[in-house]
């Protein structure tokens, strides 16, 4: 599935949440409230990653981790659409910038990287 297809599907689910919230609460979430919900999902993801690494009990195992990663991706896709960000273009540009920045800090291929214990 392409990023554009994922984004369209994410917005369909977002629209369903809006309909449900209108029906149940008489209002939809603001962008700020949506972001706060995303922060909660990131917190849940952090706990699951800690569990996967053995630092805490992980309920739900890999399936819970998969679900939370998908929830977080959904939020990022929706936020990008809500703020009219071309996520594919922004991602490509950011990765190019990071690659250039990191590569500039690395020794050339001909230079030797210091090994463990060397000064």
pLDDT tens profile 72-107: 999 999 999 999 999 999 999 999 999 999 999 999
Please write the tens of the pLDDT for every residue from 33-76.
999 999 999 999 999 999 999 999 888 999 999 999 999 999 99
Average pLDDT over residues 9-13: 98
**Residue 113: pLDDT band by 50, 70, 90 thresholds?**
low
Q: For residue 108, is pLDDT > 90?
A: no
As to burial, measured by CB atoms within 10 angstroms (0-12 exposed, 13-18 middle, 19+ buried), residue 68 is buried
Whole-number Å distance between alpha carbons of 29 and 16: 12
């Amino acid at each position: 599935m392409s990023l554009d297809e994922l984004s369209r599907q994410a917005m369909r689910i977002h629209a369903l949440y809006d309909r449900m919230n209108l029906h149940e609460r008489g209002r939809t979430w603001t962008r700020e409230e949506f972001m706060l919900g995303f922060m909660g999902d990131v917190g849940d993801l952090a706990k699951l990653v800690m569990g996967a690494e053995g630092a805490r009990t992980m309920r739900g195992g890999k399936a819970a981790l998969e679900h939370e990663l998908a929830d977080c991706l959904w939020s990022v896709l929706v936020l990008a659409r809500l703020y009219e960000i071309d996520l594919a273009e922004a991602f490509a540009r950011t990765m190019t910038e990071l690659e250039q920045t990191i590569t500039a800090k690395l020794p050339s291929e001909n230079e030797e990287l210091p090994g463990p214990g060397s000064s």
